Amino acid sequence: MKTFIEFITENVDKIDVNGNEIRVVNNPSTGQVNRIVKQAKGEPIRWSTIGDKMHVWHGDAIHADVYNELHGGNYFDYKFVRDNNPHYMSGVFFKSPKDEHFSIGYGSGTTTEKIKNNPRFSHILPHPDGGTRNIEPFSS
């Protein structure tokens, strides 16, 4: 069994956002997401997908900050991609009060159907108790 540090350091980009190091996990396993959500102690974990990558992070970095650090550009470049690229999605993983397992929240431009049809979520969607994981709109 891997430790939390081993999980959080696999497939990780370390970026600097306003003087804070943010660890961005690339294409995380369900186990990695579970561990990050547990370590966050109730705070939402942000995620975004573009192309064949899913990025997941915890900390004081909004989606635009992480996008700009990983892909270059500024807020307006991020906003253009967010509003015009059909392959870009974003949201959060969070502990739902009605479920002991994490749920998937999504932001504007993303839908439940887009998440269910995105291959980046295929291993995350199954709920540990059977069925599909809770997916709902989320606004931070």
* pLDDT, one tens digit for every residue, the chain (140 residues): 455 555 555 678 889 888 889 989 999 988 888 888 888 887 889 999 988 899 999 888 899 999 999 988 899 999 999 999 988 999 999 886 666 788 899 987 889 999 999 999 998 998 888 878 889 998 75
Torsion angle in degrees (nearest 10) through CA of 103, 108, 114, 115: -20
Query: Token digits for 46?
Result: 């942000």
Q: Where are the beta strands (DSSP E) in the chain?
A: 12-17, 20-26, 45-50, 53-57, 89-95, 102-106, 135-137
What pTM was estimated for this model as a whole?
A: 0.85
